[in-house]
Chain A
Amino acid sequence: MTSGRADAVKTGRIQRAAEIGYIVLVFVVALVLWREAGKLPPAPYDPLGPAAFPRWAAYGLAALGVAMTVRLLLGGGLGRAAQSLVSGLDGAAEHDLKPWTAVLTLMLALAYAGVLSLRSIPFVLCTGVYLFAAGAILGPFQGRRLAVVGLFAVVASVTLELLFRRLFSLDLP
């Protein structure tokens, strides 16, 4: 019970930190937007010009930022979204969470995109290696499983290459 309550306090704290972070983001974005909008020339034909909407958005964000700060300072919460469009990030799970697996998955995706955009390594090779590496970290390191993942990676990457580059003559990275 006590540990449960401690957890609740901890999530409460994380939630608050995230909210403060969000407010900071809102203010920073509003400031950048307002500054950039100030640099824009007027449009040739309409009175609003390219700057009006960004400027309005900046004012709106700043006002909402102030309102959120006041609410936090008064000790109130900001509430939480009634629906979440990405599930499984709220930490309320009965199973073990694997934060490092998640971080590695993201890193691998970034690395894959990075290597692809260099355009010097063939698509089929990048994709094969990526599919294998990303598949490997999403489960236990057992010889048999890794072999299956490897086979899948080869088949999938070659199929994609044939389908998209050969059949559809797409200009793959």
Chain B
Amino acid sequence: MTRFTRRTVIAGAAAAAALPLAGRGARAAGFPEKPIRTIIPIAPGGQTDVLARLLQQTIDKNKLLPQPLVIVNNAAAGGTAGTRTVRDAEADGYTIGMFHMGLLTAPAMGVVDYDHTAFEMIGQVGRTPIGLGVTATSRFKTIQDLIAEAKAKPDTITVAMNIGLLPHFVPLMFQQDAGIRLRYVQSGGGAVRLKSLLGNHTEVSLFASSEFVLYKEQGIKPLVMFSESRVPDLPDVPTAREIGVKTVFEERVMAFAPKGTPRDRLDVVAKALQAALDDPEVVSRLTALGIERRFVDGAKLRATLDELKGPIVTVGQEVRKAQAEQAAAEKKP
């Protein structure tokens, strides 16, 4: 740290006072002229947060942008408070967001009334393969065992989930596609679901491929993955397609900006993010985290999300059907 003389302190105060005015009326040529507020709608420490901070650090370190990204965590309301902040921010490129597929599942749950189309997509910065797993001592040795048991006794196999997010939605999709019925139990984040399985409180849960590698020692075993093709880290685990179930789904981390943000500014940020993803340190970290590093540009990402929206909305209807059944059950006795 530099030593503060009286003059630097006063100069600092003056500069600080002038700061909020500096960015007004900025032209794209000089973009960005002030720090870019990057909203992360989850608490510090989660995988999306770690990825975002890694990129922010790399952009800063390699001077990929003339101004830093400033990370702001807002985890309130299951992430919807954060996405709402981005949506309502001025579309000048100085506010962006980074979030996972919660962007699509929240509207399907009916928690918010906007989806990815309410934003400009900057690009996809990470993708993680996911799949269903059980304990090594489980009565299910293969995914076929599980499907057979679920068909014989519907609504008995318990799934540890995190409601409104992928560990809830993806098992639901699988259940629809495989024509079975599972019983859902609210649990929480990856480690909490792990604990629930290990204590035999629930039987099945969704994990990321990296979690399967990590939890192997603790006795968690993947039964099926929802990728297009087999995951290199888990070569023995079949994909859903191989067993004749069409479910394909992955967790994605995406960067986005308020609707109407000028294209050229989005490109500036996208270029910086893409360059950061090529940094050797980022490469090694992401490999360890089990995150695929391929950058997908805004237009392509938008098209993919449009495609994925269909199954997610269908699953949302499934949730409402379960709600209606619960209501009917309440009236009956």
Contact present for B323 and A41 (CB under 8 Å): yes
> Chain A: which residue is nearest B109 at the CB level?
A44
> Chain A: which residue is nearest B327 at the CB level?
A42
Q: If the complex has contacts A45-B185, A47-B329, A171-B70, are A122 and B323 also in contact, measured as CB distance less than 8 A?
A: no
Contact present for A171 and B9 (CB under 8 Å): no
**From residue 152 to 196 of chain B, which have CB atoms closer than 8 A to chain A?**
183-186
- Interface contact tally, CB-CB below 8 A: 58
Q: How far is the CA of A74 from the CA of B323 in the complex (A)?
A: 47
**From residue 1 to 23 of chain B, which have CB atoms closer than 8 A to chain A?**
1, 4, 9, 12-13, 16-17, 19-20
B81 → A minimal CB distance (Å):
14
Contact present for A122 and B186 (CB under 8 Å): no
Question: Which residues of B sit under 8 angstroms from A167, Cβ to Cβ?
Answer: 1
Contact present for A169 and B70 (CB under 8 Å): yes
Q: How far is the CA of A150 from the CA of B72 in the complex (A)?
A: 32
> Chain A: which residue is nearest B15 at the CB level?
A166
Question: Which residues of B sit under 8 angstroms from A158, Cβ to Cβ?
Answer: 9, 12-13, 16
Q: How far is the CA of A123 from the CA of B15 in the complex (A)?
A: 12
A 48-77 binary contact with B (CB < 8 Å = 1; else 0): 010000000000000000000000000000
B131 at the interface (CB under 8 A from A): no
Question: In the complex, which of the residues B9, B12, B322 contacts A44, with contact meaning CB atoms closer than 8 Å?
Answer: B322
Q: How far is the CA of A58 from the CA of B183 in the complex (A)?
A: 31
> Chain A: which residue is nearest B1 at the CB level?
A167
Contact present for A42 and B323 (CB under 8 Å): yes
A165 at the interface (CB under 8 A from B): yes
Question: In the complex, which of the residues A42, A45, A47, A166 contacts B186, with contact meaning CB atoms closer than 8 Å?
Answer: A45
A 114-135 binary contact with B (CB < 8 Å = 1; else 0): 0000011011110000000000
B326 at the interface (CB under 8 A from A): yes
B319 at the interface (CB under 8 A from A): yes
Q: How far is the CA of A81 from the CA of B19 in the complex (A)?
A: 50
Q: Please, how many residues of chain A have a CB less than 8 angstroms from a CB on the other chain?
A: 22
> Chain B: which residue is nearest A44 at the CB level?
B322
Question: Which residues of B sit under 8 angstroms from A123, Cβ to Cβ?
Answer: 16
B68 at the interface (CB under 8 A from A): yes
Q: If the complex has contacts A45-B322, A124-B17, A161-B16, are A169 and B185 also in contact, measured as CB distance less than 8 A?
A: no
Question: Which residues of A sit under 8 angstroms from B323, Cβ to Cβ?
Answer: 41-44
Q: How far is the CA of A150 from the CA of B250 in the complex (A)?
A: 58
Q: How far is the CA of A49 from the CA of B163 in the complex (A)?
A: 13
B330 at the interface (CB under 8 A from A): yes
A162 at the interface (CB under 8 A from B): yes
Q: How far is the CA of A42 from the CA of B327 in the complex (A)?
A: 6
Q: How far is the CA of A139 from the CA of B319 in the complex (A)?
A: 61
Contact present for A169 and B68 (CB under 8 Å): yes
> Chain B: which residue is nearest A161 at the CB level?
B16
> Chain A: which residue is nearest B35 at the CB level?
A169
Contact present for B17 and A162 (CB under 8 Å): no
B 306-333 binary contact with A (CB < 8 Å = 1; else 0): 0000000000000110110011011000
A129 → B minimal CB distance (Å):
12
Q: How far is the CA of A120 from the CA of B9 in the complex (A)?
A: 22
Question: In the complex, which of the residues B16, B35, B72 contacts A122, with contact meaning CB atoms closer than 8 Å?
Answer: B16
Contact present for A47 and B319 (CB under 8 Å): no
CB within 8 Å of A: which residues of B?
1, 4, 9, 12-13, 16-17, 19-20, 35, 37, 68, 70, 72, 183-186, 319-320, 322-323, 326-327, 329-330
Leading 5 A-B pairs by shortest Cβ distance:
A44-B322, A42-B326, A42-B327, A44-B323, A171-B72
